[in-house]
Amino acid sequence: MGLDRVFSTPTIEVDQDKYDELIKIKTLYEEKKEENNRENETMDFGQAIKLLKDGKKVARQGWNGKNQYIELATNISYKTAEDKIINAEHDAIGNKAIAFVGTSGVQLGWLASQADMLAEDWIIKE
């Protein structure tokens, strides 16, 4: 018996449509996995502030409410008891404040706690 018969590679018929479908599924899986990794990437407070300034919404992973986040509010104004609209312009920061959006509504002028500032579990909210 010749060695070529013992070590020959078997041929397998492949259904090209099924193969193409498997490739599509694998590609979709990898895209979803990458998207989930991006969503679960954490950062420190400094990075979160930079993203706020770029218009992103950010939150702590440790916050209880799923729909809680902070964002940068701009063009802030308020109405006085005399029905005057006041534009809240500030020399140093302009017309901006951090807004906390939670289950009870929006809180303008949100202040970070020391725990928030030292945390490294900040994430981008879509």
The domain locations on the chain are 14-41, 44-125
> Residue 105 pLDDT more than 60?
yes
What 8-state DSSP symbol labels residue 52? H
**Alpha-carbon dihedral sign for residues 49, 55, 60, 64:** positive
Q: What is the mean pLDDT of residues 65-87?
A: 90
- With b for 16 or more beta-carbon neighbours within 10 A and e for fewer, the 15-38 pattern comes to eeeeeeeeeeeeeeeeeeeeeeee
* pLDDT for res 32: 77
Report the pLDDT averaged over residues 70-78.
92
90 versus 105: which is more confidently predicted? 105
List the single range of 1-5, 75-79, 119-123 with lowest mean pLDDT.
1-5
- Model pLDDT for residues 18-69, shown as the tens digit of each residue: 888 888 888 888 777 666 656 668 999 999 999 999 999 999 998 987 789 9
Residue 5 has pLDDT above 90, yes or no: no
User: Out of 3-12, 41-50, 87-96, which region has the weakest mean confidence (pLDDT)?
Assistant: 3-12
List pLDDT tens digits, range 110-122: 999 999 999 999 9
